[in-house]
Chain A
Amino acid sequence: MSLRHDPHAFTPAPAPEAQAHETQAHETHAFAPPGELPAAPLELRGRTVVPGTAEGEALVSQETISGWGGIDPARGVIIERRHPLYEQSFAGKVLVFPGAKGSSGWAGFFQSTRLLGTAPLAMIFVTVTTKAALGAVVTRVPSVTGLDRDPLTVIRTGDRVHVDADRGVISVYPAHPQ
């Protein structure tokens, strides 16, 4: 069966925006100041949840995310009113979050984002639960957890992030170097 043995076969076609970023990043390191070498990335190391590689812009949620009742798969946005990222889109982004909460519909809702073309580009999370692990599996995006540094403080929204989930290595290119 085609779906076994080749993990990369699961990687969906990136959203157009993510694709553009990826190309740009690979060719020119466009996020580095002109005329300078790109700053060495911050590296975090963890373990593979779903293999594959991806690069794109980070969306960092400091709070756990609900699937059912928490996101709208048709639009790829967070809809929980009291969530700090209310109405923000994760489509085509590297979604960095503490973990999954709420209903067991979590994985099914993130699976729907894949089927509807609004999936995140990759997932980086802290707490492994069945919801988050199964969600990453059925979203079929490169995913990493168990990192040696807290991704919620090291990575900021807008940073360029390269996710090598095969090796469990996250490379962060800060949007605003300190």
Chain B
Amino acid sequence: MQLTDSDKAMLDGEEGPAVAAAMDLLVRYGRALDAERLCDVRNVAGTMTQPSPVKARLVREGGWDKAYSVINLDCDDALEIPDMRVPTCQLQQSFGPDSVGIAPYPKELIELQSDAESFYGRKGVNILATCTPYQVGNIPVRGEHVAWMESSAVVYANSVLGARTNCEGGASTGSASLTGRIPCWGNHHPENRYGTHLIEARTPVEGPLDWGMLGYFAGGLVQEERPVVTGELKQPDLLDLKHFGAAAASSGGVEIYHLPGVTPEAPTTEAAFGGAAVPEAVPYGERERRSVYEDLNSQGDCTDVDFVLLGCPHASLDQVRDTAQLLDGKRLHSGTQLWLMVPRALRTTADRNGWTEIIERAGGRVLTDSCPAMSRSAPPGTKVFATDSAKQAHYLPAILGIEAWFGTLEDCVSAAVTGRWKGDLR
């Protein structure tokens, strides 16, 4: 791998041991990828603050410097961590102080995370604390090289915004933050961004449920490759594509897709394939749609729902408003809880709009920073949960050992109010 003089200087320790360790990780990682070189990045989205058993031990041993060294630089020594060299944000983390009395989540871990926020905040990490940084002001521009993790954010950045990032991890983002460099590989090269598969929707796709199911289908079909989707697609919005991408990155490893006429790198279907032959379309019809729905609903037997989870990826203000309107004047079933996960910056707006009050009056909760899957925490005794997120339906049963139902926001709110799952594909 070719290193610039500046890369070599960092590797040789001219900017201190933490930067040297960061460059060492990037070199090992670049070689593992067979990358030719590194490229500049000035926008990093990573994870540092959220507690884990390993991290708690490292902090006890050597403070946050050691935790960052071991986890975010993959280095064995406890090095003093300098300020972030380039703008960096914290993605979703674990439950914070607003979850006390609601989520069964250990108080000492909340305190540990608050301590981490203070440490990393001072180092220049913006504590956005959301899986959707693109909803709260971190919006890279088309063509910009960035280093993001969080699969649902990566696929959004590449596909909807036209920024260039691979699906990075804790160590590569931690090292990018201190060097402003990342391996120039994969999605950083235009030739690797063209479509590989064509999917044609032959059933109307409208709203987050259907966009989520189409995404789940696309990810299952293409795995790590790059779907181009055409057909009966109603003009999507941020919410639809948030759910489409998150689902495609759950059933598969999709990091970029194209919607001709909608997403920026695909003015046409031909352009989406970069001038190569357009492959034969794989149909997504009513049969495939039903199959995805049944797959996502194959993890539930009991229709008594004791938990409804909304806001995965973190809810948009539209979703908060819709939830509030559906719950207005209603009361949750005595045995059922409802949590709506939002970015903290949007929660402030929801509070001012009065949406939070309506949801809370009905017995629901608006929570920030995290989600039950990230924090491995749901209401005590939860056996069956319902969600409008294909991603959460995909992951949470394995993480918490519970049953899952997947449906529309209306189905989920109805389950929260009646305590029964009555969802069906319409």
Contacts and interface: CB of A to CB of B under 8 A. Distances in A.
Interface string A17-40: 000000000000000000000000
Interface residues of A, number: 43
B71 A108 contact: yes
Contacts of A127: 223-224
A111 B171 contact: yes
Nearest to B185: A130
B119 to A, nearest CB: 19
Interface in A75-94: 79-81
A128 B398 contact: no
B151 interface: yes
A136 B32 contact: yes
B41 interface: no
Interface residues of B, number: 50
Interface string B34-73: 1000000000000100001110000000000000001100
A137 B151 contact: no
A105 interface: yes
Interface string B13-51: 100010011001100110111100000000000010000
Closest 6 CB pairs of A and B: A107-B169, A104-B149, A69-B395, A133-B32, A130-B166, A108-B170
Interface of A: 1-4, 47-50, 64, 68-70, 74, 79-81, 99-108, 111-112, 115-116, 127-131, 133-138, 140, 143
Interface of B: 11, 13, 17, 20-21, 24-25, 28-29, 31-34, 47, 52-54, 70-71, 74-77, 149-151, 154, 166-172, 183, 185-186, 223-224, 249-250, 252-253, 299, 373, 394-395, 397-399
16 contacts: A1-B21, A4-B11, A49-B32, A69-B394, A69-B398, A81-B397, A104-B151, A104-B167, A106-B169, A108-B169, A130-B185, A130-B186, A131-B169, A134-B32, A135-B169, A137-B29
